[in-house]
């Protein structure tokens, strides 16, 4: 992979042997392997048996889950917030497992629509709830850095299964509870977007 990255740098008109780029192939390889580590993840291992029988049949919501992924069309980042809800049937899942599940699918080459569906389908399969809802809001750098160059646009996708698809009241309750923001995700005061890359290992 490092040889390919050196060739890419040369094709872009750069000198891969200059000081600032000497270690770039190694860093890029390490970064790409981390950003696509979801391909190697085992869902059952991630969940680690964290399913518990609980007498609870109301909506469970984990919202504002930060995620970062790579667009499969341009290999540019898209990032934002993920909101997940489900209505238990007989079991609940450990709350920390839901963000980990989001990361598994986000750390692959993705399109936002498929990413949303994969999260919902996996929770439906592993937890067998009465319903699952996933909403994702994301800024896509392939839209803001290139192409149409619309810096303030973002995409919202949703997947509604079971009770969330069949009951408009349940669906509206979920959407009201997550309170979709009008601000562009990723550009808040706590955003890391303004931090400079300093060539860390």
Residue range 36-95, pLDDT digits in tens: 999 999 999 999 989 999 888 899 999 999 999 999 999 999 999 999 999 999 999 999
Residues 65 and 91 grouped into a single domain: yes
173 is catalytic: no
Pairing of strands 51-53, 91-93: antiparallel
Residues 7 and 95 grouped into a single domain: no
Catalytic annotation, pick one of 2, 14, 29, 142: 142
118 is catalytic: no
Residues 139 and 116 grouped into a single domain: yes
Q: Which domain covers residue 81, as residue numbers?
A: 43-188
Residues 83 and 148 grouped into a single domain: yes
45 is catalytic: no
Residues 71 and 140 grouped into a single domain: yes
> Could you tell me the CATH number of the domain that includes residue 144?
3.30.1130.10
Report yes or no on 22 lying in a domain.
yes
pLDDT of 186 higher than 50? no
Report yes or no on 195 lying in a domain.
no
pLDDT of 182 higher than 70? no
Q: Which phi and psi angles does 19 have, rounded to 5°?
A: -55, -45
Residues 23 and 53 grouped into a single domain: no
Tens digit of pLDDT for each residue in 111-141? 999 999 999 999 999 999 999 999 999 999 9
Please, which pLDDT band fits residue 192 given cuts at 50, 70 and 90?
A: very low
Short-list 36, 46, 43, CA closest to 108 = 36
Over pLDDT 70: what percentage of the chain? 87
Catalytic annotation, pick one of 82, 83, 110, 112: 112
Catalytic annotation, pick one of 71, 82, 83, 110: 71
Specify the long-range contacts of residues 141-145, CB closer than 8 Å, at least 24 apart: 141/71, 141/76, 141/77, 141/78, 142/71, 142/73, 142/74, 142/76, 142/78, 145/76
What does the block give as tokens for 148? 């149409």
Report yes or no on 196 lying in a domain.
no
Report yes or no on 194 lying in a domain.
no
Report yes or no on 57 lying in a domain.
yes
Instruction: Check residue 153 and give its pLDDT.
Output: 77
Report yes or no on 110 lying in a domain.
yes
- Which residues face 189 on adjacent strands? none
Report yes or no on 160 lying in a domain.
yes
Short-list 47, 137, 130, CA closest to 85 = 130
Query: Treating both helix axes as pointing N-terminal to C-terminal, what angle do 112-127 and 97-106 enclose, rounded to 10 degrees?
Result: 140
- Which residues face 161 on adjacent strands? 132
Residues 7 and 56 grouped into a single domain: no
Q: Which residues of 145-162 are buried (b: 16+ CB within 10 A; e: fewer)?
A: eeeeeeeeebbebbbbbb
> What is the chain's mean pLDDT, rounded?
89
Catalytic annotation, pick one of 140, 149, 176, 197: 140
DSSP structure string for 23-54: THHHHHHHHHHHHTGGGG--HHHHHTT-EEE-
Say if residues 124 and 162 touch (Cβ distance below 8 Å).
Answer: yes
Residues 110 and 159 grouped into a single domain: yes
Report yes or no on 14 lying in a domain.
yes
Residues 7 and 72 grouped into a single domain: no
Instruction: Check residue 181 and give its pLDDT.
Output: 54
Instruction: Check residue 201 and give its pLDDT.
Output: 53
pLDDT of 191 higher than 50? no
């Amino acid at each position: 992979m490092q040889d390919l990255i050196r060739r890419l740098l040369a094709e872009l008109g750069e000198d891969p042997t200059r000081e600032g780029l000497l270690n770039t192939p190694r860093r890029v390889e390490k970064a790409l392997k981390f950003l696509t580590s979801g391909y190697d993840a085992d869902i059952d291992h991630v969940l680690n048996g964290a399913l518990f029988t609980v007498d609870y049949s109301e909506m469970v919501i984990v919202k504002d889950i930060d995620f970062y992924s790579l667009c499969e069309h341009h290999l540019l980042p898209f990032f934002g917030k993920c909101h997940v809800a489900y209505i238990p049937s007989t079991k609940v899942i450990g709350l920390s497992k839901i963000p980990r599940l989001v990361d598994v699918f986000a750390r692959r080459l993705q399109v936002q629509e498929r990413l949303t569906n994969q999260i919902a389908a996996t929770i439906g399969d592993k937890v067998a709830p009465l319903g699952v809802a996933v909403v994702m809001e994301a800024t896509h750098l392939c839209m803001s850095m290139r192409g149409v160059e619309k810096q303030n646009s973002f995409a919202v996708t949703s997947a509604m299964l079971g009770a969330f698809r069949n009951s408009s009241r349940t669906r509206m309750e979920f959407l009201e509870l997550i309170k979709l923001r009008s601000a562009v995700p990723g550009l808040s005061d706590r955003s890391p977007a303004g931090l400079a890359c300093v060539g860390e290992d």
